Chains A and B, each alone.
Chain A
Amino acid sequence: MKDFFKLWFMYMKLIFKSWKEYRIDFVIGITAMFVANMMSVVFFWVIFENVISLNGWSFGQILFLSGMLSVVSGFWHTFLSGSSPWRLEEYVRRGILDTVLLKPIGTLRYFLMSNIDEDGFGELIAAFFILITGANLSGIIWNFHNILLLTAFIISGILIFFSIITIFSCLAFWTTRVHSISRIVWHFMVFVKYPLEIYNPAIIFLLTFILPLGFINYYPSEIFLGKGLHLQFAYLAPIIGVVALIISYLFWKFSLKHYTSTGS
Chain B
Amino acid sequence: MYHKIVFTKFKENFVYRTDVIGGIINSFIELAALWFVWNAIYASSGVVTIKGITLPAMITYISISTVIRIYSHSYSEYMIHDEVKHGGIVVAITKPINYIFFVLSRELGITFFRFMARGIPILLVAFIILGASLPLSPIFFIISFILGFFINFFLVVLIGLWSFWAGSIWGLRLSKNVISDISSGAIFPLFLFPQWFQQIAYLLPFQAIYNVPLSIYIGQISGFEIYTSLLIQVFWFFSLGLIALIVWKFAQRRIFVQGG
Could you list which residues of chain A lie within 8 angstroms of chain B, going by C-beta atoms?
25, 28-29, 32, 35-36, 39, 42-43, 46-47, 49-56, 175, 177, 179-181, 183-184, 187-188, 190-191, 194, 198-200, 203
Stretch of B14-22, B150-158, B213-221 contacting A (4+ beta carbons < 8 Å): B14-22
User: In the complex the two chains form, what is the Cα distance from A32 to B179 in whole Å?
Assistant: 11
> In the complex where A46-B193, A180-B26 touch, is A194 in contact with B168 (Cβ < 8 A)?
no
Chain A residues, CB < 8 A from B18: 175, 177, 180-181
User: In the complex the two chains form, what is the Cα distance from A53 to B167 in whole Å?
Assistant: 46
- Which 7 interchain pairs have the tightest Cβ spacing? A180-B22, A198-B40, A28-B171, A177-B18, A51-B45, A187-B29, A55-B44
* Candidate in B37, B167, B168 with the most chain A CB atoms within 10 angstroms: B37
A181 touches which of B22, B40, B45 (Cβ 8 Å): B22
Give the total of B residues in contact with A, Cβ under 8 Å.
37
Which residue of chain A has its CB nearest to the CB of B194?
A49
> In the complex where A46-B192, A177-B16 touch, is A52 in contact with B45 (Cβ < 8 A)?
yes
B244: min CB distance to chain A, Å = 23
Chain B residues, CB < 8 A from A50: 50-51, 192
A99: min CB distance to chain B, Å = 22
Q: Are B45 and A180 in contact (CB under 8 A)?
A: no
Which residue of chain A has its CB nearest to the CB of B40?
A198
Chain B residues, CB < 8 A from A183: 22, 26
User: In the complex the two chains form, what is the Cα distance from A198 to B35 in whole Å?
Assistant: 10
Q: Are A184 and B168 in contact (CB under 8 A)?
A: no
Question: Cβ of B257 < 8 Å from any Cβ of A?
Answer: no
B157-198 Cβ-contact flags toward A at 8 Å (1 or 0):
000000000011011001100100110000110001110000
For the A-B complex, the count of residue pairs with Cβ-Cβ distances under 8 Å equals: 93
Give the dominant DSSP class at B's interface: helix
Interfacial residues of chain B within 34-57, with CB under 8 A of chain A in the complex: 36-37, 39-41, 43-45, 47, 50-51
Interfacial residues of chain B within 130-161, with CB under 8 A of chain A in the complex: none
Chain A residues, CB < 8 A from B25: 184
Chain A residues, CB < 8 A from B187: 43
> In the complex where A35-B178, A183-B26, A198-B39 touch, is A191 in contact with B33 (Cβ < 8 A)?
yes
Question: Cβ of B12 < 8 Å from any Cβ of A?
Answer: no
User: In the complex the two chains form, what is the Cα distance from A67 to B170 in whole Å?
Assistant: 26
Chain B residues, CB < 8 A from A43: 187
Question: Cβ of B23 < 8 Å from any Cβ of A?
Answer: yes
B30: min CB distance to chain A, Å = 6
> In the complex where A51-B47, A54-B44, A184-B22 touch, is A32 in contact with B178 (Cβ < 8 A)?
yes
Chain B residues, CB < 8 A from A46: 188, 192-193
